[in-house]
Structures are given as structure tokens and as C-alpha cells.
Amino acid sequence: MNAWFSQHRAALASAFRRLWSTPLNTVLSLLVIGIALTLPGFGYVLLDNLRDLGNNASGVQQISLFMNLDADKKDIGEIENRLKQAATGKWRFVPKEEALKRMQASEDMAEIVASLPRNPLPDAFIVEPTNSEPEALEILRKEIAGWPKVAHVQLDSAWVKRFDAFLKLAKLALWMLAGIFAAGLVAVTFNTIRLQVLAQAAEIEVARMIGATDAFIRRPFYYYGALQGALGGLLAAGLVFGALTLLAEPVGELAALYGGSFSLRAPGAIEVAALAAIGAFLGWLGAQLSVSLSLRKFD
């Protein structure tokens, strides 16, 4: 056990030494890996933020039900009953008086409201369905539209649908991008490890001759690949942070123009660790493939 541990430590140390001994190659490889991981990493952070934006805007996923102007208490009771039976989620009745009061509260509107001879607003219900799937919302909207004394049912379902479709498409594109760059990362590691094996040919031959197992010979290369990948992942995380920092101000300004406050959420420690782990895994995979092929000629 002790020997096993010390051999792993030695392999890791040797991997560090090899990375350190060719700084230019190391920096170039890290840049390639870092950039390859930055694009999907950045895409992920961006999508994550967009999903947040979509969730924040979940108020949009409510159905506004406007009654006819001539609807009376009985009609309102009927709608209340139907909403209860449909059990679609939370709903709230907004009487026309309350709607008018709210309008008066708004400075810009107060004057206009004051000039009106009578309350032009209808009674309304605001329904927040539990099921916010675009399809379900659409079905519910149609049903409500058929109820008596309902003048208009409003659902911003087109926007929700579009946003949802966009997110799906973007996610798919991100996966494809990530797949391509992952393959690229494996290929880069494959090549650097191949060169490493060639450079260490003498050592490998001697080690074989004096009783080194395959595992002993392969281990430093695995560590090298994994280490390179992990460092590339950390570099990618750094680049993503950098890009977010540069984007933070313009995004804030843009959000302010739309009257909201929205700031980009930077990746957390777990996400950074995940990026490094993915890099390490892909590097290890590249090393595994490369060592298996490159060591054949030593048999």
C-alpha cells in the first residue's frame, strides 16, 4: 500500500516535472485546451443566465382573464366556480375598482384616469397555472375563452414558446459544440502524449528491461494528461470569468434600459471544479488512447 502510494506520488511528481521542463510547449497546450474548454464553458454560463432570466420572468406565464364590461356579481361567481373546478393553480380576482385605483397610483396615469367620465376597466382574474408548459397554457387559454361573459383571455404564450424553443436549440448547439471541443481536447492530449512517449523512449525501454510493469510506465503519462487537462480547465474558468467581467457593465446598462436590474451570474466553485474535472477526464482519456497506441512499438 505504501509502495503503491509512493509510486503514484512519484508519477504525479514526474508529470509535474515534465510539464515544467518544457514551459513553452506546456503553455501552448494549455492555451489550446483552455480555449477549447472556454467556448462551451462560456456558452453554459450564458445559457444558465438566460434560464435565470426566463425564470425571473415567470410572472409572464400567467393568464389574464378579462370579463365583459356588463358582467355582474353572478357572472363573476360562475367564473370563480369554474376556476375552482378546473383546479389549475393560484388565481386572484381583480375588481375593476381595484384596477382603477392601481392606475391612479401611477403618476403618469393619474391625470388621464381623473379625466375619465367613468371606470373603463373590466373586472379581471389573474390565473397562475401550476403547469406552466407552453402546451398546457395554450389548452387552458382556449378553455377559459369559451366561458360565459369572458371578453378576452391573454397569455403571452408565444413569447414563452419562443423562449423555450430558443433555449432548447441553444442547449443542443452547446452540446454539439462541447462534443466537438471535447474531441479536440482529446486529440491535443493524444498528440502531446505521443510526443512525450517518443521523447521518453530511452527511459521506457530501460524501465521495461529492468522490470517495470505496464502500469508503472503508463502512470506518469496518465497523470500528465489529466494534469494538463485540469490546468486547461482552470485556465478556461479564468477566461470565462474574464469575459463575464468585461460583459458585466454593458449587460447592466442594457438591463437598466429595459427598466430591470439583471446581472450575469459567474460560475461558482462547483462549476469551476467541474470544468477542471472534465478537462482532467478528457486529458486522461487522450493519454490513455495515446499511450496504448504509442507503447505498442516497445513490445
Partner 1 sequence: MIVASNLSKRYPGGYEALKDISFEISAGQMVFITGHSGAGKSTLVKLIASIERPTAGSLVVNGQNLSALRRSAIPYVRRHLGMVFQDQKLLFDRSALDNVLLPLQIAGLPRREAIRRASAALDKVGLLAREKANPIALSGGEQQRLAIARAVVNRPTVLLADEPTGNLDSDSAADILEIFAEFHQVGVTVVVATHDQSWIERYHPNVLRLDHGRLVA
Where on the chain is the footprint of partner 1 (CB under 8 A)? 2-4, 6-7, 10, 202-203, 205-214, 216
Residue 29: all three cell numbers together: 497546450
Using the CB atoms, write b or e for 169-208: b if 16+ within 10 Å.
eeeeebeeebeebbebbbbbbbebbbebbeebeeebeeeb
CA–CA separation, 37 and 276 (whole Å): 9
Q: How far is the CB of 208 from partner 1 (least distance, A)?
A: 8
Neighbouring CB atoms inside 10 A of 162's CB total 11
The DSSP 8-state label assigned to residue 61 in this structure reads: S
Q: Which is nearer to partner 1, 2 or 261 (CB)?
A: 2
**Closest CA relative to residue 75, chosen from 147, 152, 145, 154:** 147
Neighbouring CB atoms inside 10 A of 75's CB total 17
Q: Which is nearer to partner 1, 93 or 216 (CB)?
A: 216
Residue 98: all three cell numbers together: 381595484
Q: How far is the CB of 22 from partner 1 (least distance, A)?
A: 12
Grid look-up 485546451 returns: 33
CA–CA separation, 237 and 269 (whole Å): 10
Q: Which is nearer to partner 1, 138 or 203 (CB)?
A: 203
Q: Which is nearer to partner 1, 4 or 258 (CB)?
A: 4
Secondary structure, 3-state, 210-264:
CCCCHHHHHHHHHHHHHHHHHHHHHHHHHHHHHHHHHHHHHHHHHHHHCCCCCCC
Q: Which is nearer to partner 1, 209 or 257 (CB)?
A: 209
Q: Which is nearer to partner 1, 201 or 256 (CB)?
A: 201
Grid look-up 393568464 returns: 63
Q: How far is the CB of 21 from partner 1 (least distance, A)?
A: 9
List Cβ neighbours of 125 (8 Å cut-off, separation of 6 or more). 64, 65, 67, 79, 83, 91, 92, 93, 94
Q: How far is the CB of 3 from partner 1 (least distance, A)?
A: 3
Q: Which is nearer to partner 1, 193 or 204 (CB)?
A: 204
Residue 269: all three cell numbers together: 466553485
Q: How far is the CB of 211 from partner 1 (least distance, A)?
A: 4
Q: How far is the CB of 276 from partner 1 (least distance, A)?
A: 29
Q: How far is the CB of 248 from partner 1 (least distance, A)?
A: 48
Q: Which is nearer to partner 1, 59 or 211 (CB)?
A: 211
Q: By 3-state DSSP, what share of the chain in percent is helix, strand and coil, each rounded to 5? A: 75, 10, 15
Q: How far is the CB of 24 from partner 1 (least distance, A)?
A: 18
